[in-house]
Copies of this chain bind each other. A is one copy, B any other.
């Protein structure tokens, strides 16, 4: 199963080189993450903030850039689950502009209770949803 989120690049996100400042990509991927969970049936507001909900902390990220993205470009960000552990999981993000790969990322998350900072096992319903969006890590 595949999920794709689209973002249109804002003027403020481009730097003097005329391209998206590299530091914005983690924010783009985070926005795509929110929509990805929504596509799996989890309302972002409830998921991340209700007391019996599920929240996550980012513990690692790897990013690679392949080409420039400019102002007003539409970026398609494909999201998939790359790995599911007991209390952590990783999402893979692949961004492209008109079919041209521009940036990809692998972000590792740890499951935590809302408002807390210690890890907890991924809730069963979240785990099942992530599994439905899992791809081979070698894909």
Contact = CB atoms under 8 A, between A and B. Distances in A.
Given A14-B15, A23-B30, A24-B23, A71 B57 contact: no
Contact of A71 (B24, B45, B70, B71): B45
Contact of A60 (B43, B58, B64, B72): B64
A72 B33 CA distance: 12
Contact of A23 (B14, B26, B45): B26
A83 to B, nearest CB: 16
A59 B71 CA distance: 19
How many copies of this chain are found per oligomer? 4
30 contacts: A10-B30, A11-B15, A11-B30, A11-B31, A11-B34, A11-B44, A12-B21, A12-B23, A12-B27, A14-B15, A14-B16, A15-B15, A16-B16, A17-B57, A22-B26, A22-B30, A23-B26, A26-B26, A34-B72, A43-B72, A44-B71, A44-B72, A45-B70, A45-B72, A48-B71, A58-B65, A59-B65, A60-B62, A60-B64, A62-B63
